[in-house]
Amino acid sequence: VSLAYATDRRPDVDAIRALYAAAPLRRPIHDAARIRRMYEGSNVVLTAWDGERLVGIARGLSDGCFDGYLADLAVHPDYQNRGVGRRLLELARSLNPEVQWVLLASPVAKDYYAHLGWSGLPNAWRLNREGWDYHQVDYDTYKAQHAELAARA
Ligand SMILES: CC(C)(COP(=O)(O)OP(=O)(O)OC[C@H]1O[C@@H](n2cnc3c(N)ncnc32)[C@H](O)[C@@H]1OP(=O)(O)O)[C@@H](O)C(=O)NCCC(=O)NCCS
């Protein structure tokens, strides 16, 4: 199948939640309003579509000329290992190659980015958020909690 890629489409919040459940990508998908706000506050939303089905997404924040933070990257398991993630990252780069992107890799993707030309950072620092965070839930629990949602992706 040939997929369509977009830099200007804002998917339905429930399609995003279902894709995160299926991928899986641990985000507060139990809180649809928060996912909506996460997207409303993001100025880079890159998507991959099989017809009207959302199959891949990257969300980021960027000034468009120097810095960018890639917050989420998720590809539906039916479409993984077919270059969708690579293509979404290339799209981010192509918005403006003068932008330096940073991200936090998930445990399941910690070796993914080196392969695609990203460099690891010895000097990255984090100020932890309060409330729900992904390290409080393991992947099996997350998948079990959201199986119904994942099936809709
Ligand atoms: C990680 C993820 C985004 C990769 O997307 P994808 O579309 O499946 O990956 P691609 O097809 O673009 O893979 C490109 C290359 O990376 C390799 N690769 C894929 N997934 C990988 C992983 N988890 N770890 C290491 N290498 C990986 C592929 O084999 C491929 O190698 P090749 O070019 O030599 O053939 C996707 O598997 C996913 O959504 N995982 C769950 C959510 C997640 O962890 N997201 C990342 C958050 S930081």
What's the CA gap between 103 and 84, in Å, rounded?
A: 18
Instruction: Report pLDDT digits (tens) over 126-152.
Output: 999 999 999 999 999 999 999 999 999
Buried b (16+ CB within 10 A) or exposed e, 82-115: eebbebbbebbeebeeebebebeebeeeeeebee
Atom of ligand 1 nearest to the CA of 86: 12
Round the average pLDDT of the chain to a whole number and report it.
Answer: 97
Cα 80 to ligand 1 centroid, rounded to whole Å = 7
Please give the model's pTM, rounded to 2 decimal places: 0.96
What's the CA gap between 41 and 94, in Å, rounded?
A: 21
pLDDT of residue 77: 98
Instruction: Report pLDDT digits (tens) over 59-80.
Output: 999 999 999 999 999 999 999 9
Instruction: Report pLDDT digits (tens) over 111-133.
Output: 999 999 999 999 999 999 999 99
Neighbours of 6 (CB within 10 A): 13
Instruction: Report pLDDT digits (tens) over 21-54.
Output: 999 999 999 999 999 999 999 999 999 999 999 9
Cα 59 to ligand 1 centroid, rounded to whole Å = 16
Cα 28 to ligand 1 centroid, rounded to whole Å = 22
Is the pLDDT score of 56 beyond 90?
Answer: yes
Is the pLDDT score of 1 beyond 90?
Answer: no
Ligand 1 binding pocket (C-beta < 6 A) is: 23, 25, 73-75, 80-86, 105-106, 108-109, 111-112, 115
What φ, ψ does residue 9 adopt, rounded to 5°? -115, 135
